[in-house]
Amino acid sequence: MGNSKVFLLLLICVFEGNALKFAITHWNDVSGQLESYQKGTSSSSSAPTPCPQAANATLHCIGGFVNMVHWIRDSSYFTGVEERNQLRLSSGNLIGGESGWLSSLTDGWKTFGELARDFYKPHVMALGMKEFGAGVRRTIHFINETNLTTLSNACLKDYSGMPAEKEFCEFVPKIFIHRLYNPDGSPYDIGIVGFVNPRVERLSLPGKLKFEEIVGSVRNVVRQNSEKTKTFIAIGDGTLEIAKQILDGVPEVKLVLYGMGFGTSKNMEGQYPLPYANRFIATAGRYGSTIGKLVFEIDTASGNLNRISGKLVETVYPAGQDIDGTVQTKYTDLLGDVNLKKVFIGDTRVTLQGGEICWRQECNLGNLVTDAMVQCAINITTQPFTFPLHAIWHGGAFFEDLHKGGSKIFKFDVHKWLPYHNNAHLVSVTGNKLRQIFQLSATGINADQTNANDWRQFLQVSNGMEVYYDTLNGPPKVTRVRMVHDINGIPKLSDMNDASLYYLVIPTYLYEGRGVYEIAGVENFWTDIIIDSKNSSLVDFDDDCVENYIKAAKHVTIGFEERIWINDSPSGPPANCAGRKGSNTAVTVILTIVFFSIFLAIIYVGYFYVIPRLRAQNVEYPRNQL
What's the rounded mean pLDDT across residues 337-358? 82
Name the class of domain 26-337.
alpha beta
Q: Which residues of 474-483 are buried (b: 16+ CB within 10 A; e: fewer)?
A: eebebeebbb
Residue 591 pLDDT = 43
- Domain ranges in the chain? 26-337, 342-566
Cα separation, 295 vs 100, whole angstroms: 36
Asked if the model's pLDDT at residue 71 lies above 70, the reply is: yes
Q: Are strands 253-259 and 232-237 parallel, antiparallel or unpaired?
A: parallel
537: number of Cβ within 10 Å: 21
CB contact at 8 A, 33 and 99 = yes
Q: For residue 578, is pLDDT > 50?
A: no
The 3-state secondary structure of 132-170, one letter per residue: HCCCHHHHHHHHHHHCCEEECCCECCCCCCCHHHHHHHH
Closest CA to 279 of 250, 236, 259: 250
Using an 8 Å Cβ cutoff, are 496 and 435 in contact?
yes
Phi/psi of residue 403, nearest 5 degrees? -125, 115
pLDDT top residue among 379 and 619: 379
**Taking a C-beta distance cutoff of 8 angstroms, is the pair 273, 310 a contact?**
yes
The better pLDDT of the pair 106, 74 is held by 74
Opening angle at CA 308, ends 307 and 310, nearest 5: 80
Mean pLDDT computed over 422-440: 94
52 pLDDT more than 80: no
pLDDT digits (tens, 9 = 90+) for 285-320: 888 999 999 999 999 999 999 999 999 999 998 766
pLDDT at 66 over 80: yes
Amino acid identity, position 239: T
Stretch among 103-112, 141-150, 210-219, 312-321 having the lowest mean pLDDT: 312-321
- In whole angstroms, give the CA distance from residue 117 to residue 125: 11
Q: What is the pLDDT of residue 384?
A: 72
Nearest partner of 91 among 225, 230, 259, judged by Cα: 259
Give me the CATH topology for the region 342-566.
5'-nucleotidase;  domain 2 (3.90.780)
* Percent helix / strand / coil, the chain, rounded to 5: 35, 25, 40
- Among 305-314, 549-558, 567-576, where is mean pLDDT lowest? 567-576
The predicted-structure confidence for 476-513, as pLDDT tens digits, reads as follows 999 999 999 988 888 889 999 999 999 999 998 899 88
pTM: 0.76
Residue 621 reports pLDDT greater than 70: no
Would you call 554 exposed, middle or buried from its count of C-beta atoms within 10 A (0-12, 13-18, 19+)?
exposed
Selection from 279, 277, 308 nearest residue 294 by Cα: 308
Per-residue pLDDT, 17: 47
pLDDT category at 587 given cuts 50, 70, 90 is very low
